[in-house]
A and B are shown apart, each in its own frame.
Chain A
Amino acid sequence: MTILSQTALQEIDEIRQNYPTARAALLPALYVAQREFGWLSPEAYAAVSDLLGVPPAIARGVGTFYAMYKNKPMGRHVVQLCTNVSCMILGAEKLVDFLKNKYGLEPGGTTVDNRFSLVIMECIGACGTAPAMLVNDDFYENLTEKYIEEILGKYQ
């Protein structure tokens, strides 16, 4: 009895074959589970640990260590905005305020309509074209308030 889809189960099985130990396969396997639900719920951890034969406490330890695993429910689209040095200098903090005022989107929070979640992230290597952000897996740079509005419009 697992909550993972057939595709996910298969994918994790394949991942497992590529690693010498079950623990080594934990990181990519957790990604698969996160993709299924948008975040890693206790049930998701249990499912992955059961599948790989890794104790669940260990899986949760790993999943809570890395920032790119989400340990609470996320909105339909996850906005990850960089506020590290370059982005900050070029106005990322104003963009944070903009998101708050325009969409009611607080750092670490989710909009009431569950459309967006905002995660403040560290450098994504786009200092030359700062400020930069990710929406889900899509990358955007040279952000302005207007540009953000235009981008977010694409994500319903």
Chain B
Amino acid sequence: MNDVSLWLIFILIGLATTLPRASFIVLGNRVALPATLQRALRYAPAAALAAIVAPDLLLVGDSVDVLNAKLGGGIAAVLAALWSRNPWLPFIVGMAVLLGLRQFGA
């Protein structure tokens, strides 16, 4: 692959990123989404975050494994976030459980 085409790829991926991001922020009031759609969109962040997190916690390679260390660390982080207001605690507890489980071969 030559250098010119690599930079062209970067620019096109950049456009494929900035245009979706800027779309409605830039268009603003000129394009209004229907109220029903707006209410439905409130569920987008929860659905999207879960869609990124869940496969990461549940999959080992390409198959579901409910006894893996990442899921243990993830559950520990969820519990820490539920029961404590300390914003750093989920990171400490989650990493400790992940590395602990890996260390002791769960």
Judge: A and B partners, yes or no: no
